[in-house]
Amino acid sequence: MKVWIPHETGHALLGELPPEVTVETMDDPARLPSPVTDVRFWVPPFLAGVDATALLHELPDLALVQLLSAGADAWVGRVPPGVTLCDARGVHDPSTAEWVVAAILSQLRSFPALARAQAQRRWAYDEVAPTDELAGKRVLIIGAGSIGTALRDRLTPFEVEFTLVARTARPEQQVHGVVELPRLLPQADVVVLLVPLTEQTRGLVDEQFLAAMRDGALLVNAARGPVARTDALVAELATGRISAALDVTDPEPLPADHPLWEMPNVLMTPHVAGSVRGLLPRAYRLVGQQIRRFVAGEPPRNVVVDGY
């Protein structure tokens, strides 16, 4: 059987594979490495969009698609019957949680304003001091999966109070249901979005959601851009009542003339939370495990069900 992966460097990171497995690098659909027959296992490029899914229907023997991303929104509903879709749950926990911590601290300690002052060679102490701080804050984490848990663990030393939210409540784990957001949002100083993009979460952050946030609260989006309605987000941020740290936007890339670029209360990064040097070793460790399970006839991990 053949396995297609998108990185030449991935070959050395897979670990030992059964002898019947042939791994080939396929990083450009316009230049296939071999005939499409007998490709049973495909790893698309990291953050591949909807366009990449066209290849699904050209691989007659395909049985499993293993994504390198935690989100599967571009693939859900497009995978042919009989093909299993798996995401990279767990691979991005350290990097995304790390980005969220950095973004929260940067906004609360006024790093964007200080960076602008540095670029202008201004000693801006009187403009920003005293800054806000993370200690004592109430952090609402919307998305209680593996990344949400990793974030909670990393924020624990900062002496914050946590509330975790998932699709449905899990009282035994102290996780609240999404239906409780109208009550929870006004209590939070920091609101972090870590949910996958599904039909249920698309537009979750709308006018009502934003209006429920307390004055001075910080919204952090490390999920997907369309989880927030951009027009509602821009309107609320324009009032100056809340601030935001965004690794994702809708659309992406954000047009150069978009108002979000010039808002002083917005910190933006270009969808880089998961793009770290440790990504490929972690990702291909998972891919190798999944290939071995597939060949052994064992059920794969991280199977995507209902968009999750």
Please confirm, yes or no, whether 292 is among the known catalytic residues. Answer: no
Give residue 61's identity as a one-letter amino acid code.
D
Tokens of 124: 């801006």
Contacts 24+ apart (CB under 8 A), 10-14: 10/43, 10/280, 10/283, 10/284, 10/287, 13/280, 13/281, 13/284, 13/285, 13/288, 14/284, 14/287, 14/288, 14/291
Please confirm, yes or no, whether 252 is among the known catalytic residues. Answer: yes
Tokens of 265: 């209360």
Q: With 0-12 CB in 10 A as exposed, 13-18 as middle and 19+ as buried, what is 17? A: middle
Alpha-helical (H) ranges within 77-226 are 93-108, 111-119, 125-128, 146-155, 181-184, 207-212
CA pair distance 288, 181, nearest whole angstrom: 39
Of 7, 78, 271, 292, the catalytic one is 271
Please confirm, yes or no, whether 154 is among the known catalytic residues. Answer: no
Count, residues in the chain:
308
Rounded to 5 degrees, φ, ψ at 148 are -60, -40
CA pair distance 257, 261, nearest whole angstrom: 8
> Which residues are 86's β-sheet partners?
66, 303
- For 31-50, letters b (16+ CB in 10 Å) and e give eeeeeeeebbbbbbbbebee
Of 40, 92, 167, 224, the catalytic one is 224
Question: What residues are annotated to the active site?
Answer: 224, 252, 271
